Amino acid sequence: MVCLGNICRSPLAEGILQDKIYKQKLNWIVDSAGTAGYHIGEAPHHLSQKVALQNGINISHQKCRKFLRKDIIEFDKIYVMDEENYAEVKSICGNDWNENKVDLLLNESYPNENRSVPDPWYGNEDGYHKVFKMINEACEAIIKKYK
Ligand code: 4NP
C-alpha cells in the first residue's frame, strides 16, 4: 500500500487489509510505504489513528518508511492511492518496474475507472472518514478476489 507520505492513506490501507487478513485467517503479508521521505519513523497521522480505532483497528504501532526499489521484487502486488504515486513508484523502480504488479487501489472496487483516494492531509476529520470508507471497500474487493 503506497501513498505520498505514508502518514495518512497507506497506513489506513495497511491496517484495514491486515484486519481482514487476520479475520479471514489468511497468511498474506501486507505493508505500506510512502514515495516521499518527509515522515520516516513517525507513527500514522493522529486522525488516521483515530478513525481506524473508531472502526476497531489499531494502527498506532506502524512506522513510516519510504518505498524502496526492492519492494517491487519482494511483493506480489503494489497498490497506489493516486496517479502521482503511480508515476513515483515507476520512477523509483527503474528497470525493475513491472506494470502487472502495480495498480490504483480503487481499481479493485471500481475496475478500470482509475479513481484516486484523495489526500486528506490538508483537510479535516471528515476527509479521513471518507478515505476510510473508500479504502475499506477496495480491501473487501481484494479479499474476495484473491482469497
Ligand atoms: P499521505 O498524505 O500521502 O496520505 O500520507 C500526506 C502526508 C504528508 C504530506 C503530504 C501528504 N506532506 O506533505 O508532508
pLDDT band at 140 (very low <50, low <70, confident <90, very high): very high
**Non-local CB neighbours of 108 within 8 Å, separated by 6+ positions:** 79, 138, 139, 141, 142, 145
pLDDT for residue 63:
98
Which residues have C-beta atoms less than 6 Å from ligand 1? Answer: 3-9, 34, 38, 119, 121
| Separation CA 40–CA 7 (nearest Å) | 9
Query: Quick check: 66 and 33 in contact, CB under 8 A?
Result: yes
2-146 CATH choice from 1.10.1380.10, 3.30.450.20, 3.40.630.30, 3.40.50.2300: 3.40.50.2300
pLDDT band at 131 (very low <50, low <70, confident <90, very high): very high
What is the arithmetic mean of pLDDT over 42-70? 98
Q: Is 69 a catalytic residue?
A: no
- Tens-place pLDDT, residues 94-130: 999 999 999 999 999 999 999 999 999 999 999 999 9
Nine-digit cell string for 60: 498506532
47 CA distance to ligand 1 middle (Å) = 13
pLDDT for residue 42:
98
| Separation CA 16–CA 132 (nearest Å) | 8
CA dihedral 40, 8, 25, 103 (to 10 degrees): -90
pLDDT for residue 46:
98
* Its pTM surpasses 0.95: yes
By alpha-carbon position, which residue is closest to atom 6 of ligand 1? 5
What is the arithmetic mean of pLDDT over 22-48? 97
Nine-digit cell string for 134: 473508500
What is the arithmetic mean of pLDDT over 61-70? 98
24 CA distance to ligand 1 middle (Å) = 30
Q: Return the percentage of the chain with pLDDT > 70, whole number.
A: 100
145 CA distance to ligand 1 middle (Å) = 29
